[in-house]
Every structure is written in structure tokens, then in C-alpha cells.
Chains A and B, each alone.
Chain A
């Protein structure tokens, strides 16, 4: 059995290598397709062993969460109009240090794997059931409080000059207003997708995919394709400018953010990272980058790991939801299998990060950056069409319109998560149906 599990983890990790390099493709989409394939196998009288597909799924998630650093750093070159929204990873790319930036985030991911397997893993079954027991009836207001924080803490980016008065005030509120508008519109889109899903119910695992592609991936690709940014020559250095203290502080910040997102429903890694960044008050860009690496691994992989934790069996995130449809864990053996798979896949993914980053850098050097962006745009649109049809493409186009608002006005892209946060928070508080009725979605 152990060889089967190891082979499955490695297969999942290697597949994740290729998937991670494609910008805009989410691993949950692939897991959904795998689940549909497994269902079809069951329907035809064949069945795959859980000892194979569980480690395979864990390999997919872990590998992807480590390796999707590559597109986020190397394929997201900003131009000057992306004022204040330039992330440190992209700054590294524009300074010719894309490799170093990717490896720094990778070091954070490795620290995240370490935290999951050696810190959170052993203690989760002992402490988290009590935490879950106390907090479960309160998840709805926690979600509302998080929404309040997101909306109230966006910082005005303009209006710093000129005489006092309404002109200055309106300049400052252009970004804040755009943020609020983005949240509201994406929230309305979320209501529409929840109560009148335009995508067929046969694509149950993929109904949110077109909206996410439109809100996050399409504006990114469009911006890169239109701006025509030239990526400077990249240098590969073997040493990273970090030390143990930086790694420790980043791990704490990222671990808290990712852990929060993995434990609470609907909270994503981005929100967890935002909260942890504020809470730990870290200004160092290296700390920010490494903590993002920790956060995304703890969020994506941790959420799936907690599904296997004895006494907890927490279903958080799309990955756990997809696996739940296939298999319900019930023994400590399942948990140890999950921990072992995460450890193995994490280690292999980290080792693959360096060669894959170098390969992508070579690709960027040879092919025009604008072409890569257009190619990515084509892949995303094709995937959405293949999986969800014309209706999905329409949803993606609408979502892209909303997703462009923060890009154009320099507000937080995180506001696009209103697509999930608003309808689910309303539903958890019992206000979902009245709001849907008010919007005319229940007729």
C-alpha cells in the first residue's frame, strides 16, 4: 500500500508542476474534474482505491500551493499604471530578481509544510475540536466582522496634495468608493450565481470557476497584454538574502494568516494574509513575501489536512468538499497518510521549484511577454468554455468587468471576494433568502 501511496503522491505532485505554471487555472478545477472522472468510473462498475486517489489529491493540492508561486511572481509584471498595487514579488521581477523572489516565497512554502506536519499536525486533533466546538455557532458574525474589516481598512491612495476641501476628499474616496463598489457588485454576482446559477448543475464543482477566472485571472492577463511591459533581464543567484529571524517572523505571520483561513469558512488565503499582515505589523518586503508562501501552503494544504484530523474532520475549502464527496476519513491511519503525503509532496515540490522557475525565466526571455499573457488568456477562456460552456463564458466576461474596477482605480483586488463573502455571510445569518427575494432571484 505504501508504494501505491508514494506513487500517487508523486503523480499528483508532478501533474501539479505543469498545472501550477498556467496562470489562472485553479487546482480545485482540476480536482473537480478528477472527482467527475472517479464518479464516472464508479458509474461504470469500476472503483479506484482511496489509498491511491487521496494521496494523489493531496499531492495535487500541496504541489500546486508550493509551485503556483511561479506564475504569481514571473507572469505578473506590472506597469506604472498599477500604482500602489505592485506586490513585492513583482517588484523583484522588475528588478531582475524574479528567481530570488520566487525562491524566497518557496522557502516560505517549505516553512509552511514544516509547520503543518510538525507543529499543527500533532496538536490539531487535541486542541482544534474544542476550538471548533466553541466557535461553530459564531461563524456567521466572525465572517461579518471580517467583511467589516476589509471594507473599513482600505487606505486612501490619492488626495494627498492640494488645498483642503471636497476636491481632495473626492480624490481620496475614488479608490475607497471603487473598493466598495467592487465588493457590492461582486457580492450581487455571487447572489446571482448562488440563487440562479447560469452554469449547469452537472458542473457542480465548477460553478464558481468562471466568476473567479473573470474577477482575478482575466484582468491580470489583460493588463499584462495591454501594457506591454518589458521584463528586464533576470539574474539567478544561489543565495537568498534572508536569515533565520526573518524566516521565523514570516512563518509566524503566514502561519497565523493561513491557519485562520484554513479554519474559518469562506475566508481565503488572501484574506488571512491581509489580517496576519496587519496583526503582525511587519514592514519588511522579504517578510511579506515569505509569509505569503507560508500562508498559501497552510491555507490550501492545511484546509485539506484538517479534513482528515481525528475528532475534527473539518470541511473547509473546495478541496475538502470535493474529497468529501468521494471519501469520509474515519481512522488515525487516514490522518497519518495525509500528513505523510503532504510532507513528501512538499519536499518534492520545493526541489522542483528551482528548475521550474529557471525554465520559466528562459521562456520569458525567449517569448514576448505580451504573447505569454495573450496565450494565458486564451487558455483560461478555453478552459472556462470547455468546462462550463457559453453561460460560463458570459459569467466570466461580467466578472472580468467587475475585476477590472480595482485594477483601474488602484483599490484592493481582495474586494472581488465579495462574490463569496456577501452571499455566504447573508445565508449564515439567515438573511440570504430575504435578500435574494428582494433582488428578484426567487421568482
Chain B
């Protein structure tokens, strides 16, 4: 999920603790801030600290003036070969191609485990918002193919798009059976996304007060559990578990509807927890009524209007799709 969903989930988790709401009513915001920060902390650790110290054995940097996908495909195939031959992990990074302040050349790779090959193709120039810019597809768009020397097993998708900011990285590791396992973003959702690390933080927070420890654990744990709804999963009990436990694959982290739904429901749960903490409220409403007016009716109206508008625009090319041949 996106950062804001984790962030507000941490606040929502904190709001379930009666002492948090009581402290807030008395003017102390510390527990809510702690919940919010702990909710987003696992990703903060990974994306703002750990990844800058994570070493890669191979860094693939395509040339912007010569859009040749073959070196990229060859580098991936070579990494697989090395991992299979040595049994040692090989960490590879695919660099992005920044063209100007807000323009990036997109390219896409497919690691096809069935065909035993990797295919790479360059695409359009995209903005930092990952929106393709018009008329920027290269005239020639060859698909580079490189055969893999060993069978591969993938825990994530088979298609990866490289475009903005930092490119993706992979860890290739051969096992005793000669199969190379591909670990996507091997620096992400490892020790930082484990319940054991959460427990360590609970210990630290409890040095201040035990209630803070519970808030931190609730917010941190909800982040880990939410991530399990996606594809990648997390290494839940590092160092006792060595690999990430695969996610439920219900959604992708950037999907709009689950993210917004999570944020909205969390806001309502916080509101409800604040409401029930009022000793003799002036206004009276049930949880069902709150959900009816704030979730069911608005979402149903939005869904109906959205359906009607999409129907009305039938045949209108909303965004020109980019054709990929990989």
C-alpha cells in the first residue's frame, strides 16, 4: 500500500487504545504521533536509509543516446548464469534513464521462466508521474532476447517496468537443485518488515512507557499485515525466517481504490473511536449509520456515476496504450 494508507492505519491502530484518546483529550498528541510515525516507519527505514547502503554486484546503465536493449538482457542472463554456477547470490540493479528534469525513458523487461529467456524493450518517455509523453516512442523498438542458462523461480511478477527515480534491483540465488531464485527488491521488506523487529522497537518505546510500546507494535504490525495483501510479502520473523512470505496477491501497492478505501475507512474508524470516548455525547448515531452515510451511500453513488460516465464515453481513447512486444 502507499505511504498514506500505512500512515493513517497507524493512527487508526492507536485510536483503539483508550489511553491514547484520553491523553489526546487532555492535550497530549504524543501517542497519535507515535502511531502515525510507526505506521510508516518500515518503509521509511527501507527507502530512506537501508537502500543507500545495500551493495549491488552489477549495475546496468543503458545509454540514453543509443537505445539498445541487448546489453540489458545480456546482463540479466549473465547474472543468472553466475548465480547458478557459483551458488552465491548476485545482486543486480537496473538503472533508470533520466533525460531531463521531468522526463524519463521507460523500458520494460520480462523474465520468462517457462521459455527460459529474458526479453527487454524500450518504450516512451514518461513524466515523473509515469504518464507517457506524446510522440516519444523510439522509431525502432527491437526486442532483445537472452537465453537463461538455468531454470528460474520468481516470487514476484515476471514483468518489470523501469522508469522514474531509482530503478529496480534483483537478487539471483542458485539452490542445490540448480534453480535460480529471483528476489525482487531484495533490500525491501526484509528485516524492517518483521514482527521481530517490531518487538525490538516495542522494547525501545516501552523504556518511555509501556502504553507507547503497545501503540508502536499495533501501528507497525498493521503495516506488515497490510503489505501481506499485496504480491511481494515480507520476511515476517527475521532472523528466524530467511525469506519473504509471499503475499495474498489481492492488490498492487499503487492501486487507487484499495488505497483510498483503506484511508477512508481508517479515518472513519478514528472518528468512531473518538466519538465513543465522549462520556455523554450531544449527538447520537450508531456505527452502522456512520458507515451507511460515509461509506456505502457515497461509494455507491460514485460507482454509479463512474459507470455512467465510462459508458457515455464508450469508444473514446482515454489514454493511448503503449504496445509492448515482450
Measured CB to CB, the nearest residue on chain A to B282 is A133
CB distance from A286 to the nearest CB of B (A): 9
Which of B52, B129, B260, B285 interacts with A284 by CB under 8 Å? Answer: B129
Tell whether, in the assembled complex, residue A138 and residue B25 are in contact, meaning their CB atoms are under 8 Å apart. Answer: yes
Give Cα distance in the complex from A161 to B52, angstroms.
10
Residues of B contacting A279 with CB < 8 Å? 4-5, 259-260, 263-264
Chain B 263-294, CB-CB to A under 8 Å as 1, else 0, gives 11000000100110010011101000000010
Q: Which residues of A contact B (CB under 8 A)?
A: 78, 80, 82-84, 86, 88, 91, 127, 129-131, 133-135, 137-138, 140-141, 144-145, 148-149, 152-153, 155-157, 159-161, 163-165, 168-169, 172-173, 176, 243-246, 248, 252, 275, 278-285, 288, 429-430
Is B24 an interface residue, CB under 8 A from the partner? yes
Tell whether, in the assembled complex, residue B309 and residue A244 are in contact, meaning their CB atoms are under 8 Å apart. Answer: yes
Residues of A contacting B310 with CB < 8 Å? 245
Within 8 A of A (CB), among B117-148: 127-131
Query: Considering residues B53, B54, B128, which has the most beta carbons from chain A within 10 angstroms of its beta carbon?
Result: B128
CB distance from B164 to the nearest CB of A (A): 10
Residues of B contacting A160 with CB < 8 Å? 95-96, 165-167
Tell whether, in the assembled complex, residue B25 and residue A137 are in contact, meaning their CB atoms are under 8 Å apart. Answer: yes
Tell whether, in the assembled complex, residue A134 and residue B271 are in contact, meaning their CB atoms are under 8 Å apart. Answer: yes
Which of A137, A159, A281 interacts with B256 by CB under 8 Å? Answer: A281
Is B236 an interface residue, CB under 8 A from the partner? no
Tell whether, in the assembled complex, residue A86 and residue B102 are in contact, meaning their CB atoms are under 8 Å apart. Answer: yes
Which of B55, B128, B254 interacts with A84 by CB under 8 Å? Answer: B128
Give Cα distance in the complex from A169 to B54, angstroms.
11
Give Cα distance in the complex from A137 to B61, angstroms.
54
Residues of B contacting A133 with CB < 8 Å? 281-283
Tell whether, in the assembled complex, residue B312 and residue A244 are in contact, meaning their CB atoms are under 8 Å apart. Answer: yes
Measured CB to CB, the nearest residue on chain A to B284 is A130
Within 8 A of A (CB), among B295-326: 302, 305-306, 309-310, 312-313, 316, 318-319
Tell whether, in the assembled complex, residue B27 and residue A140 are in contact, meaning their CB atoms are under 8 Å apart. Answer: yes
Measured CB to CB, the nearest residue on chain B to A131 is B271
Q: Which residues of B contact A (CB under 8 A)?
A: 2-5, 7, 11, 24-25, 27-29, 32-33, 36-37, 40, 44, 47-49, 52-56, 61, 95-96, 100-102, 127-131, 165-167, 254-256, 259-260, 263-264, 271, 274-275, 278, 281-283, 285, 293, 302, 305-306, 309-310, 312-313, 316, 318-319
Residues of A contacting B271 with CB < 8 Å? 131, 134-135
Measured CB to CB, the nearest residue on chain A to B134 is A95
Tell whether, in the assembled complex, residue B2 and residue A281 are in contact, meaning their CB atoms are under 8 Å apart. Answer: yes
Measured CB to CB, the nearest residue on chain A to B285 is A130
Tell whether, in the assembled complex, residue A152 and residue B130 are in contact, meaning their CB atoms are under 8 Å apart. Answer: no
Query: Contacts A145-B11, A278-B2 given: A140-B29 contact, CB under 8 Å?
Result: yes
Tell whether, in the assembled complex, residue B53 and residue A165 are in contact, meaning their CB atoms are under 8 Å apart. Answer: yes
CB distance from A136 to the nearest CB of B (A): 10
Residues of B contacting A168 with CB < 8 Å? 52-53
Tell whether, in the assembled complex, residue A134 and residue B316 are in contact, meaning their CB atoms are under 8 Å apart. Answer: no
Query: Contacts A84-B102, A141-B32 given: A134-B52 contact, CB under 8 Å?
Result: no
Give Cα distance in the complex from A282 to B281, angstroms.
38
Give Cα distance in the complex from A70 to B136, angstroms.
29
Measured CB to CB, the nearest residue on chain B to A173 is B48
Measured CB to CB, the nearest residue on chain B to A155 is B165
Residues of B contacting A82 with CB < 8 Å? 101
Residues of A contacting B256 with CB < 8 Å? 280-282
Give Cα distance in the complex from A282 to B129, angstroms.
9
**Can you name 10 extra interface pairs (CB under 8 A) apart from A133-B282, A279-B264, A281-B2?**
A134-B271, A137-B25, A138-B274, A148-B33, A152-B3, A161-B61, A164-B55, A165-B53, A243-B309, A280-B259
